[in-house]
């Protein structure tokens, strides 16, 4: 779960934050901050052994100019590399009802944590006491515009080809929080980056960063190749206005889904989704879906590749530049990685968390969906006696499939 690291007292200013507010923002805020400096000790509530996060409660009766502070937060966020910053009230509203209905239909599959933590999603104050506001941030990640059309090459979702986004976003949000504390003193907050029960798309929508596409991802006029992160805070910042939706009658994402996982506009059955099948699902992939995976070994980008709005997407942050040839490697090359090589080469990459067994499972299916070459058959044979029964079963399936080709 993403946590804020130790907060910096007001006296240390921006040490370690690596960013600064412009002087005009500081001048509008500093008067109230100077008056509060003497009361810093009284407002510093305590320390919590939760990821090392030290939280201070912010005095809502202070003379902070929240309009100016919000502008400063947005400017600083942009200097940190975020594509957009917005503010929403910490109330997910009707989206909670849709989440509960989705869970009741079992569309979350084996992701039990979705149901187990549903109320934490519904009530932000249960996750971070005192939360009034959500600062939502977006970060572009599109590493390139190439597609993998060769069935002998591995198709890895673009978001996972470079550095682990959890760490990148969490680090930058922490720097943003440090910069805020340097101006106004300690305040209650917690940072998140897709690793806690947060309704991030809904809050981003409310914060004006985009609208929810029919594939359920956040979509904007700059496309959907964006990561999201949040700061839950007790600062009463003025909320932004949501933007209008611009999907119209388009059904490109629904039509493009290789497994029919987008069962209706704004409804995804995770049990059918390639990302779920290759990442979240433990054990065997249902045989009915295996041929539909093609050469996709980790995630799927099809519903984004076809979206008309992504014609306007720009290349993302350099942190997400492909590593270890994940944008160009062949299936056979990746299938040959030992467990040690898998762990070493994917250190700092989100793929590492699925483990070597699922990695081999997924690639075995992809090889079985590819050309029946001598090298492909040889690669499968090399793992036919793997210690994992899951790997062995998927290898056997792939061998039988190539034998019929």
| Catalytic member of 59, 75, 150, 194 | 194
Q: Are residues 242 and 89 in contact, defined by beta-carbon separation less than 8 angstroms?
A: no
- Could you confirm whether 150 is annotated as catalytic? no
Residues assigned a catalytic role: 194
């Amino acid at each position: 779960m993403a946590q804020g690291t130790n907060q910096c007292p007001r006296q240390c200013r921006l040490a370690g934050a690596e960013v600064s507010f412009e002087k005009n923002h500081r001048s509008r805020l500093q008067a109230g901050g100077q008056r509060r400096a003497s009361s810093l000790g009284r407002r510093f509530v305590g320390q919590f052994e939760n990821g090392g996060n030290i939280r201070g409660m912010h005095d809502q009766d202070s003379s902070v100019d929240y309009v100016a502070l919000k502008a400063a937060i947005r400017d600083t966020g942009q200097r940190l590399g975020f594509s957009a910053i917005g503010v929403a009230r910490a109330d997910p509203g009707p989206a909670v009802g849709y989440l509960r209905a989705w869970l009741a239909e079992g569309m979350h599959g084996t992701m039990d944590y979705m149901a187990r933590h549903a109320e934490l999603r519904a009530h932000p104050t249960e996750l971070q006491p005192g939360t009034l506001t959500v600062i939502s941030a977006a970060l572009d990640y599109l590493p390139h515009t190439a597609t993998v059309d060769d069935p002998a090459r591995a198709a890895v979702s673009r978001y996972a080809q470079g550095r682990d986004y959890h760490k990148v976003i969490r680090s930058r949000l922490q720097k943003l929080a440090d910069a805020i504390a340097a101006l106004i003193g300690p305040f209650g907050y917690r940072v998140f980056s897709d690793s806690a029960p947060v309704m991030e798309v809904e809050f981003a929508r409310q914060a004006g960063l985009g609208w929810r596409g029919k594939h359920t991802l956040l979509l904007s006029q700059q496309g959907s190749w964006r990561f999201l992160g949040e700061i839950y805070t007790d600062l009463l910042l003025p909320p932004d206005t949501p933007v209008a939706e611009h999907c119209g009658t388009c059904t490109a994402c629904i039509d493009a889904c290789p497994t029919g996982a987008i069962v209706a506009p704004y409804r995804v059955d995770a049990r059918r989704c390639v990302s779920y099948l290759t990442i979240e699902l433990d054990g065997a992939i249902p045989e009915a879906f295996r041929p539909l995976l093609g050469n996709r070994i980790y995630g799927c980008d099809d519903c984004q590749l076809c979206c008309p709005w992504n014609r306007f997407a720009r290349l993302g942050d350099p942190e997400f530049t492909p590593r270890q040839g994940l944008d160009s490697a062949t299936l056979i090359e990746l299938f040959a990685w030992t467990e040690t090589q898998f762990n070493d080469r994917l250190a700092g990459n989100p793929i590492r968390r699925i483990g070597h067994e699922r990695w081999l499972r997924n690639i075995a299916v992809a090889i079985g969906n590819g050309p029946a070459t001598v090298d492909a058959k040889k690669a499968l044979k090399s793992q036919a006696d793997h210690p994992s029964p899951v790997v062995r079963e998927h290898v056997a399936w792939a061998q039988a499939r190539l034998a019929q080709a």
